[in-house]
Amino acid sequence: MKTLLKQLTETFGPSGYEGDVRKLVRAEVEPFADELKVDALGNLIVRKKPLKGTKDAKKIMIAAHMDEIGLMVSHVDENGFVRFSAIGGVFRRYVPGGRVRFLNGTQGVIGYDRLDNINELPALDKVYIDVGAAGKKDCPVKIGDVAAFDRPFTEMGNRLVAKSMDDRVGVLVAIETLRSLTLPYAQGGASTPHDLYFVFTTQEEVGVRGAATSAYGVDPDLGIALDVTPAGDTPKALKMEMALGKGPCIKIQDPGMIADPRVVQWMIRTAEKNKIPYQREVLLMGSTDARAIQLARAGVPAGCLSIPVRYVHSPSEMVDYSDVQNSVKLLTALLRAPIGL
């Protein structure tokens, strides 16, 4: 799984430009898919049909978003310095001195205008990207070109660090769960009584857009989002219970949605029955694809399985490998048995 996670996180795919990530995911899931398609917004929809002879199979949508935060060129000055707008939640504290890579391969360093207070955090309209150009004419990027932060995948003991763990680690959990449900039982596989739709969504970071359209198309009976959740285990962090190394988080509420209580209890019972460590999540900021699924058509019972992460929306997001492994175990356990609502 680490090799695949390295590939996923080091592939560039800001919101709206997920093509390279989708190509990688498609190559991984195609051997396990009963049906596979890409919709108008670029969502990759992978269907796994229920066991033969299953009656009244429930349609379950599992969503993990492929996109990451990024930057888009808005102006190039006469000296070749590049101004940009944010794609998604780009935090000022992680920007100065950062390195970026454009989809055309151009690399850049983020600098900032003169500050009267050197300890001040500059606003995004006070920073620029230096791509090494001597002037506007030889600048290798143009208005509308897209970049993402540039950092390599790193192992620090049991902790894994990379840009775009949000949400390539959720994508990984979806892929590995699909793999485990497809392997022969003797090899640890476990098939499913459900009609499963693994959806690798687009444009989550700019308003859960891909999940909204794909949920409308799939029209599921139940939805589960796979995403990260900010950990509350660092010095003076927000007072939240989520911590690295204590298991996947079962979302109860975030500012965008209240998880269906029946889904929450089903997840908790399954984790306890299978002796999988878990955490109860009440998130104080942000939301996930579960919000869009919950509001699709006439409404869908929805929940979210989250992997705790430190330094969210930074170029160095950190997860614990045991949380990733246990997320796969829990999602597999949920999908291989009848729904306990």
Do 249 and 307 contact (CB within 8 A), yes or no? yes
Distances (CA, A) of 155 to 161, 170, 176, 317, 321: 6, 18, 20, 12, 10
Confidence band for 183, pLDDT divided at 50, 70 and 90: low
Cα separation, 103 vs 116, whole angstroms: 34
Cα separation, 256 vs 165, whole angstroms: 21
**204 a catalytic residue:** yes
Q: What value does the mean pLDDT take over residues 32-51?
A: 95
Summarised one tens digit per residue, pLDDT across range 127-155 is 999 999 999 999 999 999 999 999 999 99
Confidence band for 236, pLDDT divided at 50, 70 and 90: confident
Cα separation, 132 vs 340, whole angstroms: 58
Peptide bond into 167 cis (omega under 30): yes
Q: Over pLDDT 90: what percentage of the chain?
A: 82
Do 309 and 161 contact (CB within 8 A), yes or no? no
Q: What value does the mean pLDDT take over residues 32-41?
A: 95
Q: Is the pLDDT of residue 320 over 60?
A: yes
Question: Any bridge partners for residue 82, and if so which?
Answer: 76, 129
**Which pLDDT score, from 0 to 100, does residue 148 have?**
96
* Catalytic hit among 18, 68, 176, 204: 204
Q: Is the pLDDT of residue 305 over 70?
A: yes
Question: Beta strands of 98-221 (E only): which ranges?
Answer: 99-102, 107-112, 127-130, 146-149, 154-156, 159-162, 195-201
Cα separation, 161 vs 42, whole angstroms: 27
Question: Beta strands of 239-301 (E only): which ranges?
Answer: 249-254, 257-258, 279-282
Going from the N-terminus, what domains does the chain have, and what CATH number goes with each? 2-68+163-335 (3.40.630.10), 70-149 (2.40.30.40)
Q: What value does the mean pLDDT take over residues 230-235?
A: 90
> The whole model's pTM is what?
0.94
Q: Which residue has the tokens 């269907």?
A: 47
**Which pLDDT score, from 0 to 100, does residue 172 have?**
98
